[in-house]
Amino acid sequence: MIRVMLPAHLRTLANVNGEVKVDVTGQPTQRLVLDALEASYPRLRGTIRDHVTKQRRPFIRFFACERDLSLEPPDTPLPAAVASGAEPLLVVGAMAGG
Amino acid sequence: MSKVRLLVGTRKGAFVLTSDGKRQQWEIDGPHFAGWEIYHVKGSPADPDRLYASQTSGWFGQLIQRSNDGGKTWEPVGNQFAYDGVPGTHQWYDGTPHPWEFKRVWHLEPSLNDPDTIFAGVEDAALFRSSDGGQSWHELPGLRGHGSGPHWQPGAGGMCLHTILLDPRDPKRIFVAISAAGAFRTDDSGETWRPINRGLKSEQIPDPNAEVGHCVHRIAMHSSRPNVLFMQKHWDVMRSDDAGESWREVSGNLPTDFGFPIEVHAHEPETIYVVPIKSDSEHFPLEGKLRVYRSRTGGNEWEALTKGLPQSDCYVNVLRDASSVDSLDTCGIYFGTTGGQVYASANAGDSWAPIVRDLPPVLSVEAQTLA
């Protein structure tokens, strides 16, 4: 079970409160977690990464275990604490604009 | 008794304003999609309770929202806008080739007779159509592909397709306008397109009479005379009596002919409205006086409409999609400002009053006349 914390606007869009939990088969990676997230919440498709290229949107960042994982390749295994459910994967809207 | 519903898109959400036919007391509902930019909200002429909204964000991209109950509840529908084939390039601001990149939906135009069919004008400029209520979107690639696309350049606000006019007499004819490429027309339901800019003159571009490259801000038509078009260009108010084959200037006695919106009275096809703005570098009313100008002669002779509008220290703008008319017997006209005011006139512009003063900057206003 992977815990994911979405930014407020995406929680509203997905109609969820607090963290969401998704199941991933095998070693969790950004790609697998986002695949599972979009399968559970189809409204999020296109809001975190591109529909086709699957590239992270420029003003979205991924954090976990006090590390910025945004520039990690999407198939890199997530930290063990995220994989175990001890820590959430944070999806963050970059601090910019008003 | 008839009702009027205004669909207002703002920088920070959508608002639905409703009134009875007197248009004196208004209920304000919103914000919907709080915090998101709502470029445009429009209802289906075939089913006025079917609404579509363009919801967008620099962080989270594009969403399309649909309502089946007049804006009480909404559901997100399809948000994938993929250009047909290899998108190719247009010109960047410096004239170098730049790849076509989808950024947002500026304008939504529902079909005149099918609530599930809707057109979307997007940035970078292209026209998309959905025939399943917004679930899936497909480009009409003949517009970008007709030949002049590689020469299109963005205006200051981006390279946006912002105007879509559906001909009520000929379902195969569609007019669109793009900043800063110009106006285009199809006569075969969007398969093929051609520029319709003859007569436009733009001193700011290398060839003032070029086939494309004109910064058209808005086009309007009256449904009873779809061959007569009115245009607010970057500078110049223009008119065509032959479905865009040729244009002539009708700025006449306007104090400045720069502006964004242009509207046609619901019952008088020769009565048109503009909101003159000082200049392209000073996007606010001349002399700090917010004045709508009305021509009852299809242009050239204009009168200032000021009653109820601020006549000192007013430095707001009215954007291209931020005005609309209703179709009650005494035509109502409405506009929203970048200062967050929405003004209404229930007497065709003779006098005005604010419906609401402190919304976020208004991007779009659409009036619906309801039975």
pLDDT tens figures, B175-187: 999 999 999 999 9
HSE toward the beta carbon, residue B96, CA cutoff 13 A: 2
Candidates B214, B116, B105; CA nearest to B162 is: B105
Backbone angles phi, psi at B71, to 5 degrees: 100, 5
B35: Cα separation from own chain's centroid: 22
Per this entry, what is the length of chain B?
Answer: 371
The residue with greater pLDDT, A35 or A97, is: A35
Expressed as residue numbers, the domain containing B203 is: 41-329
**Domain contains A69:** yes
Reported pTM: 0.97
Task: Give the pair of three-digit tokens for residue B194.
Answer: 């051609």
CB-CB under 8 Å, A7 with B61: no
The number of C-beta contacts closer than 8 angstroms across A and B is 40
| Residues contacting B21, CB < 8 A, separation 6+ | B1, B2, B3, B4, B328
CB-CB under 8 Å, B63 with A9: no
CATH classification of the domain holding B75: 2.130.10.10
- Rounded CA-CA distance B304/B91 in Å is 39
Q: What single letter denotes the amino acid at residue A41?
A: Y
**Which residues in chain A have their CB less than 8 angstroms from residue B76's CB?**
13, 43
**Domain contains A72:** yes
**Which residues in chain B have their CB less than 8 angstroms from residue A62's CB?**
none
Residue among B35, B61, B82 whose CB faces A47 most closely: B61
Element of type H or E holding B186: strand B182-186
Nearest-by-CA chain B residue for A8: B35
CB-CB under 8 Å, B76 with A57: no
CATH classification of the domain holding A21: 3.10.20.30
**Which residues in chain A have their CB less than 8 angstroms from residue B78's CB?**
none
Expressed as residue numbers, the domain containing A46 is: 2-93
**Domain contains A98:** no
Per this entry, what is the length of chain A?
Answer: 98
DSSP for A17-60 reads -S-EEE--SSS-BHHHHHHHHHHH-GGGTTTSB-TTT-PBPTTE
- Model pLDDT, residue B226: 98
**Domain contains B22:** no
**Domain contains B58:** yes
- Model pLDDT, residue B201: 93
**Domain contains A80:** yes
- Rounded CA-CA distance A38/A60 in Å is 15
CB-CB under 8 Å, B36 with A47: no
**pLDDT, tens digit only, all 371 positions of chain B:** 799 999 999 999 999 999 999 999 999 999 999 999 999 999 999 999 999 999 999 999 999 999 999 999 999 999 999 999 988 999 998 989 999 999 999 999 999 999 999 999 999 999 999 999 999 999 999 999 999 999 999 988 899 999 999 999 999 999 999 999 999 999 999 999 999 999 999 988 888 888 899 999 999 999 999 999 999 999 999 999 999 999 999 999 999 999 999 999 999 999 999 999 999 999 999 999 999 999 999 999 999 999 999 999 999 999 999 999 999 999 999 999 999 999 999 999 999 999 999 999 999 999 999 98
**Domain contains B105:** yes
**Domain contains B260:** yes
**Domain contains B95:** yes
Task: Give the pair of three-digit tokens for residue A62.
Answer: 């991924």
**Which residues in chain B have their CB less than 8 angstroms from residue A48's CB?**
60
**Domain contains B7:** no
**Which residues in chain B have their CB less than 8 angstroms from residue A52's CB?**
80, 82
Residue among A46, A52, A60 whose CB faces B79 most closely: A46
Instruction: Report the gap between the CA of B76 and the closest CA in chain A (Å).
Output: 7
- Rounded CA-CA distance B322/B162 in Å is 12
Inter-residue contact B50 to B115 (CB < 8 Å): yes
- Model pLDDT, residue B203: 87
Q: Which residue has 């998309």 as its token pair? A: B128
B283: Cα separation from own chain's centroid: 17
Structural domains of chain B, count: 1
Structural domains of chain A, count: 1
**Domain contains B319:** yes
**Domain contains A47:** yes
Q: Is the pLDDT of residue A98 over 70?
A: no
CB-CB under 8 Å, B76 with A47: no
